[in-house]
Amino acid sequence: MSESDTVLAPRFRGKVALVTGAGSGIGAATASRLAAEGAHVLLADVDEASLGLAVEAAGSAARATGFGGGAEGLPLDVADEAGWARVARHLEDGPGRLDLLHSNAAIAVIQPADRLTVADWHRQLDVNLTATFLAVRALAGLLTRTGGSIVITSSVHAMRGLPGRPAYAATKGALLSLGRQLAADYGPDVRVNTVVPGPIMSPAWADVSEPDRERSIRATTLARFGRPSEVAAAVAFFGSDDASYVTGASLVVDGGWSVTADSA
Ligand SMILES: NC(=O)c1ccc[n+]([C@@H]2O[C@H](COP(=O)([O-])OP(=O)(O)OC[C@H]3O[C@@H](n4cnc5c(N)ncnc54)[C@H](O)[C@@H]3O)[C@@H](O)[C@H]2O)c1
């Protein structure tokens, strides 16, 4: 099935969503998907240039379906506690609600532990893991009041080791536990779920060599990279009423990567 065959419904009409790392890849695709389904989407990213393009794309996705969605850019370093206080004020003073938080921004510094600097270790923990804690700390009140939901982006690296990713893998594993813990803490008002992507062709793959790309494709049972929109579809499911009895769950979106011996 191609993207153009997807039939969209206004599942998020009148709702407000916030997506981090929305300037690119999975976050940008999720913002467009939610806007197309009627959400007013706040796209947050530290890279203001890519954020502008993603806001335009989400805005035109919203116009294409006409379900009342919209898009707004929010420059934000997700590791910055003061930035989250600003986001909370913006939401309180503006729409006064938050239906879906997609905590998705991440960075990866590829070095084995003995070559990874302490600063790079801490920065990955801050951006990939602590940011979700900061977001929930700032927005739990709003989410609880609205009866909203949280979707966290983990990774198949939470389950399988690959060379040179000690901090990245540690943060992605911790996000699986954090998602379950948040589900326990914030039910019954807020549902919390985690998407676990495998190889998804996004700008994050720009510096990966062709042989390494081919090895990743061979490790999938679907024999291809995933599209960011295929992860966005899972995020939209978790955030929608279609998942009204789903919380503390994780959904692997990896084309079968994690079930093959080749990925080990
Ligand atoms: N692409 C894959 O194969 C893959 C696989 C597994 C998991 N993931 C996860 O999916 C998520 C999105 O990855 P992607 O492939 O779309 O990557 P990407 O590099 O295309 O997008 C990541 C975005 O996060 C933003 N970002 C980085 N640091 C930030 C910060 N401090 N504050 C705010 N924004 C920041 C970047 O500017 C970028 O726009 C990440 O959590 C990643 O770990 C991706």
Token digits for 61?
């996705």
When pLDDT is cut at 50, 70 and 90, the band that residue 6 belongs to is confident
CA of 115 to the centre of ligand 1 (A): 23
Q: What is the predicted pLDDT for the residue at 62?
A: 98
**Most informative mutation of 86, 133, 202, 231 for ligand 1 (most atoms within 8 A of CB):** 202
Mean pLDDT in residue range 217-227: 96
Q: What is the predicted pLDDT for the residue at 264?
A: 55
- Which residues are catalytic, by number? 168
Closest Cα to atom 13, ligand 1: which residue? 26
Residue that is written with structure tokens 């901090």 in the block:
167
pLDDT in tens, 170-199: 999 999 999 999 999 999 999 999 999 999
Mean pLDDT in residue range 127-145: 98
Mean pLDDT in residue range 241-258: 98
* pLDDT for 216 beyond 90: yes
SS (H, E, C) the chain: CCHHHCCCCCCCCCCEEEEECCCCHHHHHHHHHHHHCCCEEEEEECCHHHHHHHHHHHHHHHHHHCCCCEEEEEECCCCCHHHHHHHHHHHHHCCCCCCEEEECCCCCCCCCCCCCCHHHHHHHHHHHHHHHHHHHHHHHHHHHHHCCEEEEECCHHHCCCCCCCHHHHHHHHHHHHHHHHHHHHHCCCCEEEEEEECCECCHHHCCCCHHHHHHHHHCCCCCCCECHHHHHHHHHHHHCHHHCCCCCCEEEECCCHHHCHHHC
Mean pLDDT across the chain: 96
When pLDDT is cut at 50, 70 and 90, the band that residue 5 belongs to is confident
Mean pLDDT in residue range 28-34: 98
Mean pLDDT in residue range 216-235: 97
Q: What is the predicted pLDDT for the residue at 174?
A: 98
* pLDDT for 242 beyond 60: yes
Q: What is the predicted pLDDT for the residue at 252?
A: 98
Taking every pair of Cα atoms in the chain, the longest distance, rounded to a whole number of angstroms, is 53
Q: What is the predicted pLDDT for the residue at 2?
A: 61
CA of 77 to the centre of ligand 1 (A): 13
pLDDT in tens, 58-82: 999 999 999 999 999 999 999 999 9
Does the structural domain 12-263 have CATH classification 3.40.50.720?
Answer: yes
pLDDT in tens, 154-163: 999 999 998 8
Closest Cα to atom 40, ligand 1: which residue? 106
Which residues have CB under 6 Å of ligand 1? 20-21, 23-27, 45-47, 50, 76-79, 104-107, 127, 153, 155, 197, 199-200, 202-204, 228
Mean pLDDT in residue range 90-101: 98
Q: Which residues pair with residue 74 across a beta bridge?
A: 44
Determine the atom of ligand 1 nearest the C-alpha atom of 128: 41
Reference 175, options 195, 202, 199, 205; nearest CA is: 195
